[in-house]
A and B are shown apart, each in its own frame.
Chain A
Amino acid sequence: MSSAAHDTKIRRLHTRKSKKASLPFAPEKVWIDKKVADHPQTIRILNKLKNCDYDVVDNVKKLKRPSDLSAAKKQMVLTYHKGDAFKPCQGIGNEHLCCNYRVIDLISGCPMDCSYCILQSYLYNNPRTTVYVNIEEILSQVATFLSKNSQKFFRIGTGELGDSLALDPIVEFASVMIPFFASKRNAILELKTKSTFVDHLLDLNHRNRTVISWSMNTPEIIESDERDTASLDERLEAAKKVAAAGMGVGFHFDPIIIKKDVGEMDRYIKVIDRIFDELEPKQISWISLGLLRYPKDLPNLATQRFPDTSLFTGEMVPSGNKMRYLRFIREEAYRPLWEHLKSKLPPHKIYLCMETPAVWEKVDPTVKGNSCIEKRLCNTESINFDYQAKPTIF
């Protein structure tokens, strides 16, 4: 342990990382909203959790907040999502160039425990892992939207407020979503994960409308700061299975961490090489790059839980309501990664996540606006699609 690590008190709330991601999440307690107690999805989920303690409550919003996030992560809430569970990604409308991604909220919270996870801040007051069982209603919102916007093509994901597959051995939402998107002509589903729970999906009829993506990081960061997630090798092994089943595979290098200097990008280049050792470029739908950024209160929350973490030591400066690396550091960090990726994958399959036009200009000057990234990524997938009529976006 470094002297700096000695400098802060070790108030460990967690034991060192154990690779539990190959085991399904087993909540200690399940709270069931009375309104969904008889919902078929609730019953199906409870059948998967036979030995789990559960309670039906009148109003899940009135549940006492567990005293800390680690305790909250061991509890699950089954409820319904009222309102709009299908919305634009938070990157849209900011100062960034954005790929016009849309998100579906089916789960909020995550049993995994990454030091940099923004949910520590976003879900501070509501930290239990919450599952919205009214998936059919939510998908019906999606169907209506897609049908009203039939001339546009959409990339839609579920991994904004939680891992798309970490709970899937229990909730099995992916088995509902993949056939749903298989029947849609103008959208593709992306399931983002750090888990390996893909075996139950391999035989589903996906019609090339599903991409399963993995968040990628260096083995060192995975080991030190991505608790209860699959290792790099395990993620690549799962990706190979998905690719062999004919589904698209994506990778998101996000967050890319710079602790001291951009020389650390060499470690990410090795991870890129690992990907291409295991997969053919044609099997990869897209790869994104995103440097660490976070809400201003996150380091304080995270370092209380993980005193040993050194993730927040790069040169971060305020940018809107977030902190991010200095622009010229970001440019310098992206450049070798972009160039290396470009040597392996067509540039239209590579994008920066939530980056400013100024940084894009340095990395790929051909990208001039949101629609440009959107079109490139949609075209990536459209090549494989068997359309009756091509959407106008192409």
Chain B
Amino acid sequence: MLLQYLNVSSLNIADDSYRITFAPELEELKRSVKVAGIIQPINVRHTPEGTYQIVTGYKRVLVMQELERQSIPALIHEPNDLSPTQAFLWSLHDNAVARSLNLIEKSVALTKLNQFYQMSEDELAKQFLPLIGEEPSFKILHQLMSLDSLTEPVKTHVVKSKVALSSASRMSEFTPSTQQALLGVLSHINPSTNKLNELLALLREISARDGLTVEDILSRYQLLQVVVNPTATSADKVSALRQALRGIRLPQLTERQKQLAHLIQGLELPTQAKVVADPYFENKNMKLECQFSHPEELDSVIKKIQAAFEKQKWQEIFEWYRT
């Protein structure tokens, strides 16, 4: 091992053998380097071909490049002193101990350990998931490793928008072109994890049922237009998109719900009263909810409900509901 100032241009930045970092935030480090320079040397591996592979300190190298600095302090390790596996483990520990890895970085770490360093899935689950702050579960392992199939723009979206693992993993099941199309929608909204998972499931199910690509679905039902409205809030856009997709995915249920809403409207109930029915029509029981704050108001509500009852409107609902 040798401590030496290396020319930044002599480092092979394109060689990502030991790199885990994805979409790094450099501003804070840049400010620090401007004031104090590089305090901690980076670690590099001198290859038999004469190049220098970055083992730890990738972000420091990026900052030095951006600041157009010429040299950087580095601990140089000869190939015989540092095996590729050891080098990767240094990189992983250096990153995982110092900060929280984002989902893509976790995915990169696990995928490389599996593909290049022959770590079994059992070792990954039991030893490495806890190291990167995850439960030692095969489900989590498989979800994280699936993120390797995300396109670069989607990976960036996952990190920047803090997409949950379950959603990111579902997105990885789509082809690159579909992921790109999805990104066109997702960049306009910020759904909760549950909502995003539901939207992805709806798209996938419609696609499987109708033999359409997701791109076809987005275009045929003009779903992009639903989310580009500049005056609507993100929550409204998510709600409108969800409603549109559910209408396509569950046409009979949606139609029934509309019919029921129409029949309930026909009761002309007072604003203080509401009919609640099972939204899936499984349970035939219905509930009538009333709100009142004094006896006269209750009396008035009852009279209005009675009036609706006498017009046979209630009977109509029961008969329809049971068909």
Of all chain A residues, the one with the shortest Cβ separation from B177 is A7
Interface size range on B against A: 35 or more
Of the residues B170, B213, B249, contact of A6 by C-beta under 8 Å: B213
When distances are taken between beta carbons in the complex, the residues of chain B under 8 Å from A3 are 211-213, 216
Q: Say yes or no: is B116 at the interface (Cβ < 8 Å to chain A).
A: no
Contact A299 B214 (CB under 8 A): no
Contact A67 B252 (CB under 8 A): no
Of all chain B residues, the one with the shortest Cβ separation from A314 is B209
Interface 1/0 per residue, A293-328 and B, CB below 8 Å: 000000110011001011011010111000000111
**Shortest distance from the beta carbon of A305 to any chain B beta carbon, whole Å:** 11
Of all chain A residues, the one with the shortest Cβ separation from B211 is A2
Q: Say yes or no: is B309 at the interface (Cβ < 8 Å to chain A).
A: no
How far does the alpha carbon of A65 sit from the alpha carbon of B141 in the complex, in Å? 13
Q: Say yes or no: is A329 at the interface (Cβ < 8 Å to chain B).
A: yes
Of the residues B142, B173, B201, B210, contact of A4 by C-beta under 8 Å: B210
Q: Say yes or no: is A8 at the interface (Cβ < 8 Å to chain B).
A: yes
19 A–B contacts, CB within 8 A, in A order: A4-B209, A4-B210, A8-B204, A9-B149, A9-B174, A9-B175, A67-B122, A68-B142, A300-B201, A303-B173, A312-B208, A313-B208, A315-B250, A315-B252, A315-B253, A317-B280, A326-B256, A327-B280, A328-B256
Interface 1/0 per residue, A206-225 and B, CB below 8 Å: 00000000000000000000
**Shortest distance from the beta carbon of B273 to any chain A beta carbon, whole Å:** 26
Beyond A9-B149, A9-B175, A329-B252, whether A319 also contacts B280 by CB under 8 A is: yes
Q: Say yes or no: is B234 at the interface (Cβ < 8 Å to chain A).
A: no
Please report which residues of chain A, range 118-146, place their CB below 8 angstroms from some CB of chain B when the two chains form the complex: 124
Q: Say yes or no: is A356 at the interface (Cβ < 8 Å to chain B).
A: yes
When distances are taken between beta carbons in the complex, the residues of chain A under 8 Å from B142 are 67-68, 304
Question: 8 tightest CB-CB pairs across the interface, nearest first?
Answer: A313-B209, A67-B121, A2-B211, A317-B280, A4-B207, A310-B208, A4-B211, A7-B213
Contact A356 B121 (CB under 8 A): no
How far does the alpha carbon of A3 sit from the alpha carbon of B207 in the complex, in Å? 8
When distances are taken between beta carbons in the complex, the residues of chain B under 8 Å from A329 are 252
Beyond A9-B173, A67-B122, whether A318 also contacts B280 by CB under 8 A is: yes
A7-B175, A9-B175, A303-B173 given; name 14 further pairs at CB < 8 Å.
A3-B213, A4-B209, A8-B175, A299-B201, A312-B208, A313-B209, A315-B249, A315-B252, A317-B253, A317-B282, A326-B256, A326-B281, A328-B256, A358-B284
When distances are taken between beta carbons in the complex, the residues of chain B under 8 Å from A313 are 205, 208-209
Q: Say yes or no: is B323 at the interface (Cβ < 8 Å to chain A).
A: yes
Please report which residues of chain A, range 54-93, place their CB below 8 angstroms from some CB of chain B when the two chains form the complex: 64-65, 67-68
Of the residues B141, B178, B250, B323, contact of A7 by C-beta under 8 Å: B178
How far does the alpha carbon of A367 sit from the alpha carbon of B177 in the complex, in Å? 53
When distances are taken between beta carbons in the complex, the residues of chain A under 8 Å from B253 are 315, 317, 326
**Shortest distance from the beta carbon of A66 to any chain B beta carbon, whole Å:** 9
Contact A328 B216 (CB under 8 A): no
Q: Say yes or no: is B138 at the interface (Cβ < 8 Å to chain A).
A: yes
Please report which residues of chain A, range 322-363, place their CB below 8 angstroms from some CB of chain B when the two chains form the complex: 326-329, 356, 358
When distances are taken between beta carbons in the complex, the residues of chain A under 8 Å from B249 are 315
Q: Say yes or no: is A259 at the interface (Cβ < 8 Å to chain B).
A: yes
Contact A259 B173 (CB under 8 A): no
**Shortest distance from the beta carbon of B127 to any chain A beta carbon, whole Å:** 13
How far does the alpha carbon of A259 sit from the alpha carbon of B205 in the complex, in Å? 10
Please report which residues of chain B, range 269-293, place their CB below 8 angstroms from some CB of chain A when the two chains form the complex: 280-282, 284
**Shortest distance from the beta carbon of A22 to any chain B beta carbon, whole Å:** 31
